[in-house]
Amino acid sequence: MDWQDEGYVLSVARFGESDAILDVLTRGHGRHGGLVKGGLSKSRRAGLQPGNRVAVSWQARLSDHLGRYEVEPLRAHASLALDSGPALAGLSAATQMAALCLPDREIHPAVHDAFGVLMAALTGDDPVLGAAIFVKWETGLLQDLGFGLDLGRCALTGSMDDLAFVSPRTGRAVTRGAAAPYAGRLLALPPFLLGNQTGRPTAGDLADGFRLTRHFLMQSVLEPHGRIMPQARDYYADLMTR
C-alpha cells in the first residue's frame, strides 16, 4: 500500500531515540499518521513542526498499519509564527483542535482547504482577522462533521434580517426581536459570522464567536466521545478577547 499527498502537520510524537510519529491532515486521505525515520533529528525537526505544510509519501504492507512517511517540508508556518504570541497560540489551538475533532483517516477536503486559509491568516499581519477566521474555520469543521449551524434564517419567524442569537439546543439562528423573551438563554451571534459586519470585529464579537463554536464543539463533537476542550484553544480565545 502506498500513496502521495500534501497536508499540514498536526502533531509530532517521539518514537524511540530519534524517530517520530507524525499526524498529518491531508486532503485526500484525511487525518493520517505515519512513522518518520529520524524525524526528531536536528536536521529534520524544524521542518516537521505542527502547522507546517508538507508533502508526504506513505507506505505500509496493509492499509490498517501505521505505515511509514517520507516527508518533504513545503511551507514552515511554525517559524513564521515565532515572533507573534497570537500567531503561535492560534497555530497551537488550530492543530490541536483538528487532531482532536477529526476522525482518523476520514476524508474532509473542505476542512483541509480551509485549514490552509487559516494558517495563512494566523501567520499574517492582522491577529484580529486571524481570530475571526479561526472561528469561521470551527463553524466549517462543525458543518463538515455533520453538526452545522443554521444561520440563514430565524427559527421562529423565518426572517433573514437582524439575526442576533443562536439556540444552544438546535444551533438555529433567531432574530433580535423574536429572541427578546429568551435572550438570556441564547448564544449571541456575532455579525462577522453572517458576513454583514463592515468594520473589524471587536473583542466582544470575537468572544461571542469563540463561545458559540465552543458550545457546539463540546456538545456535538467532544463530550459524546468523553473528550475535553484543549487548553490551547481556550488560551487562544482568552488571549484574543481580553
pLDDT digits 0-9 by tens, 169-216: 999 999 999 999 988 899 999 999 998 777 889 999 999 999 999 999
Residue type, 200: R
pLDDT value, residue 43: 82
For the chain, domain boundaries? 2-78, 81-151+189-241
DSSP 8-state symbol, 95: H
3 state SS of 22: strand
**Mean pLDDT, range 50-78, rounded to an integer:** 93
Distance of CA 189 to the CA centre of its chain: 19
CATH class as words, domain 2-78:
mainly beta
Does the pTM exceed 0.85? yes
Asked if residues 183 and 168 have their Cβ atoms less than 8 Å apart, the reply is: no
